[in-house]
Amino acid sequence: MISILGAGAFGTALAVSMQRESDARTVWLWGRNADAMAQMQASRETPRLPGVTLPDGLTCASEMSALPDHGPILLATPMQTLRALLTTHADQLSHRTLVICCKGIELSSGLRASQVLAEVLPDATPATLTGPSFAADIARGLPTALTLACGTAACAETLQTQLSTHNLRLYSSTDIIGAELGGALKNVIAIACGAAIGAGLGESARAALLTRGYAEMQRMAAALGAEPETLAGLSGFGDLTLTCTSEQSRNYRFGASIGRGEAFDPAVTVEGAATARATHDVATQRGLDMPITAVVTGLVEARLDVATAMDMLLSRPLKKE
């Protein structure tokens, strides 16, 4: 049994891929909107994934009281709502294996997702699933590779076997810190790249931001105890490349809207906006030099425009690479 909490596009796509794999595997998908979940259960469709049919064995529910009492639980809710979810449903989630699928840093505390989980549910077993992926690709059965990190190799390998599918190839890791930071920080750089393209600054500017942004990611990851090779893998460089180069990325589109001076749909979750502010706070506290993160924070908070932000970056002292 696999349970997934969060019936947004990504959580639903994971449910579709995992249920489609085998009739012997049962997937239970939870969403907080009772009417929407009832409609999904009846119609076998969701507006989150147009053209995708939900497999017959997939159960869509809105009552946490029906949460299966065994098997891993995937948490596919937004980062900034994770603490509330864990707190509200602590009784059902305590002592379970919880696989975090959201990407970000909590704005109120500066904590990574597994740190939030440890505070709220210290008896749970944390893991993280992250890497370069779009929900539509996963749901359509297109090949996707992700990182699955857990505190021990045995835990990671067990989850790897339980959660892998024909189109979803999972690579195991024991570096939760690096996996989480890669997934979180790349969203900040994606906003910067989107802003550059939206403002008409060109592909060369995007390449520079992507490369120097990767250096910032490595700098913070090293300071927080991550393994360097993790950031060079799927959860770091791989996810950064995808997110900074595709219109399917919400963070990239958000940045592009800033660059064009256009409003962005407030109903769309942009994890990088809060993560930029949280990361900037952590970097300041630790004395880390993260100029791209700083200007993205200024853009998100509407303290800077793109022209000023670029001037700030280009006027920095010349240095060795």
* Known binding-site residue numbers for sn-glycerol 3-phosphate: 103, 131, 133, 186, 239, 249-251
* H/E element, 27: strand 27-30
In order of 128, 258, 295, the CA distances from 176 in angstroms are: 7, 32, 27
User: Which residues contribute to the annotated binding site?
Assistant: 6-11, 32, 103, 131, 133, 135, 186, 239, 249-251, 268, 271
Contacts of 239 (CB under 8 A, 6+ apart): 130, 131, 132, 133, 182, 183, 186
Tell me, rounded to whole angstroms, the distance of Cα 138 from its chain centroid. 14
**Looking at this protein, which amino acid is placed at residue 64?**
M
Collapse the DSSP code of 256 into the 3-class scheme (helix H, G, I; strand E, B; otherwise coil) and give the result.
helix
The candidate with the shortest Cα–Cα distance to 205, out of 216, 197, 214, is 197
Of 186, 219, 253, 277, the active-site residue reads: 186
- In the residue annotation, 319 being an active-site residue is answered as no
User: Which residues contribute to the annotated binding site for NADPH?
Assistant: 10, 32, 103, 135, 250, 268, 271
Joined tokens for residue 247:
């219109």
Tell me the β-bridge partners of 2.
Answer: 27
Count of residues making up the chain: 321
Active-site annotation, residues: 186
